[in-house]
Structure 1
């Protein structure tokens, strides 16, 4: 029976030695990458998966759209594995090598909002900003917690919800150990509950509509956010709503191709399924900005 990590780690076997190895591949190149809700400092954080994703991708600009570090959980209990430190190091390395890294703090790392408009180690800290795609679309980029009624009006309730969410994630880990032993693939209980519980679906819809309305009011083409851990790209009355997902459940990111096309990618797609030829075919259809 396979342990859970074997569903998340690609297996490449050297036929001669029987050892696992990663065959060398050129990183997948994008114009822009957005990631959020990593929650470094928690047991639910998939830091190793994110590390693999960052090693196998390159971009001109990398947006960290909030909740990268979970200050709420770290205040309760210190938890920081080597993989969490490695994620921080690779982001700093990308910034040093020329990637424009922009950090937009969220509610879980809100302490960093004290440093808005400052730069640290090549990383720009901003509250929000407007990103212009290669197609000329002007997209508002922000974490999104200000448009969450629970965060805005009853922060104590958000803390309670965060504790319940952590319990669900812990149960989900044990549940998937059982599924792995039964030969079944990884499955997210928390995502399933979000999509099935009526109030949760209503909450997500209200959040998405509020963000789209804000972009419309500012005369922009769309909005890019995180916060609710639900990757999504959809049109809301003429406004392009994009949520890059998270690195606790969905293991997803929003990317911009050189031609300006926005799409969602997952860890599985980049690390397990992509081939250089496939991606080059996509990029051949794009015209890089002049």
Structure 2
């Protein structure tokens, strides 16, 4: 592999706008390592923090904080210091910052929501999305049950019903219940997306950008472009706007794996 390709492995991504949400700093599940790698490799004119950046709910119950979380905060503040416009839209887990809406702290503007004007002139509503949480009625993780999890559920179902028989209870299908829950979880996500798209349409906008449900997505919903930037606990994803106004969802875990493979292919 020629030296030019080695530089491609480590290049900085230059985009117009970055949208990230649901970092949940303060929890053991927060992938601050992946996030730091992303922030070190991106340059943008504007950064939207679309809620649940710090998990105040968890921190109130049990304090958990380490140096990488501080490094994430410093990286964001460094972007603001070096000319990036940083807009922070608090979510439900960091709702304590909603008391500061309208203020600017260390170069970071706190807003309840925003209207983003893209490079191509299209306008987008930017909000965390918890305002529409009434449509989320089922456990989100059930939507991600795969074949392996379903096989495990079948095994558990056998032992579960063996115990029920011994206790004199009738058969009850755990696996069928899980399948129904998966179906309903998908419906709930679809209703959430529809509700956000309807709100953007009501305001006369071209699309909506949100977080909250940890489900990265970019699709048209009834003529409105719905975009969810995902999270940095499970998906490790970000939404970026390129300089021509085109949007792209980034799977940073996949990007890291690709860079690792390219490094292995480059002679030392």
Q: Do the structures match in fold with TM over 0.5?
A: yes
Q: What TM-score do the two structures reach when normalised by structure 1?
A: 0.71
Q: Is the 8 A contact 2:57 2:93 kept in 1?
A: yes
Q: Given the alignment, which residue of 38, 41, 59 partners 1:56?
A: 41
Q: Is the 8 A contact 1:53 1:270 kept in 2?
A: no
Q: Is the 8 A contact 1:250 1:266 kept in 2?
A: yes
For residues 115 and 58 of structure 1, do their structure 2 counterparts lie closer, same or farther at Cα, with a shift above 3 Å needed? Answer: same
The whole-number CA distance in structure 2 between the counterparts of 1:69 and 1:194 is 33
Q: Is the 8 A contact 1:63 1:102 kept in 2?
A: yes
- Aligned position for 2:253: 268
Q: What TM-score do the two structures reach when normalised by structure 2?
A: 0.76
For residues 195 and 253 of structure 1, do their structure 2 counterparts lie closer, same or farther at Cα, with a shift above 3 Å needed? Answer: farther
Q: Is the 8 A contact 1:56 1:270 kept in 2?
A: no
> Whose radius of gyration is greater, 1 or 2?
2
- Aligned position for 1:288: none
RMSD: 2.8
- Aligned position for 2:131: 146
The whole-number CA distance in structure 1 between the counterparts of 2:73 and 2:179 is 30
Q: Given the alignment, which residue of 15, 26, 31 partners 2:11?
A: 26
Secondary structure of 1:95's aligned partner = helix
Give the number of aligned pairs. Answer: 221
Unpaired runs of 5+ residues, structure 2, are 1-6, 150-177, 261-268
- Aligned position for 1:136: 121
- Return the offset for 1:194: 11
The whole-number CA distance in structure 1 between the counterparts of 2:33 and 2:225 is 31
Map Cα deviations across residues 238-289 of structure 1 (whole Å, 9 max, x no partner): 10000000000010000001111011002135444369xxxxxxxxxxxxxx
- Return the offset for 1:27: 1.2
- Aligned position for 1:125: 110
The whole-number CA distance in structure 2 between the counterparts of 1:256 and 1:23 is 20
- Return the offset for 1:129: 1.0
The whole-number CA distance in structure 2 between the counterparts of 1:204 and 1:122 is 34
Secondary structure of 2:60's aligned partner = helix
Q: Is the 8 A contact 1:103 1:124 kept in 2?
A: yes
For residues 81 and 35 of structure 1, do their structure 2 counterparts lie closer, same or farther at Cα, with a shift above 3 Å needed? Answer: same
- Aligned position for 1:88: 73
- Aligned position for 1:203: 188
1:164-203 → structure 2 map (5 Å cutoff): 197-203=182-188
